[in-house]
Amino acid sequence: MSVRESTFFGFANPVDPRPEELQAWAYHPEAVPLDAMPSDWDLLISGDVLAPTLFELAMDRQCPARRFAQHCMYIYAADGVRPNASSQRKRRLKKYVERAEEVGDEPMSIWAHNCRVLMTRPELFDYEDWIEGGLVRHPRRLAMFGRR
């Protein structure tokens, strides 16, 4: 049985979901609407543990929660370019970016481009775009030498 055919039975702990729970939810997001989750759920789950799952969901054109997963990957990326981000986080982010460049569709290609811009010019970070979902709601390629 594939994940898409599986039933979502809820989160044992919504603040710290297991990867398989997040994946099952993503294909049945109506079971627990985002507005029923903690207000900072996107920030809570956008770490290293769930990044592989979030990336796969963001890459899947058929995933009903794809835009949410893409939003979480923008948060993950913003966290990964901070000066105090771990070298492991930076390496993982680079691998996700490379994979999105190789096999991603337009939204993920834009994400990868924007990550490269932020890696090169971290001062271009904009909280509303990267953390509050602006780049998902209004997809665009950031200019390397754009306004701050």
Given this model, what pLDDT does residue 6 score?
64
Single-letter residue type at 122 = P
Given this model, what pLDDT does residue 67 score?
97
Domain locations in the chain as residue ranges: 18-137
pTM: 0.91
Please tell me the distance from the alpha carbon of residue 42 to that of residue 54, in angstroms, as a whole number: 11
Low-confidence residues of the chain: pLDDT under 70: 1-6, 146-148
Given this model, what pLDDT does residue 146 score?
54
Given this model, what pLDDT does residue 5 score?
52
**In contact, 21 and 12? CB cutoff 8 Å:** yes
Given this model, what pLDDT does residue 37 score?
87
Closest CA to 110 of 147, 135, 146: 135
Token pair belonging to 35: 């507005």
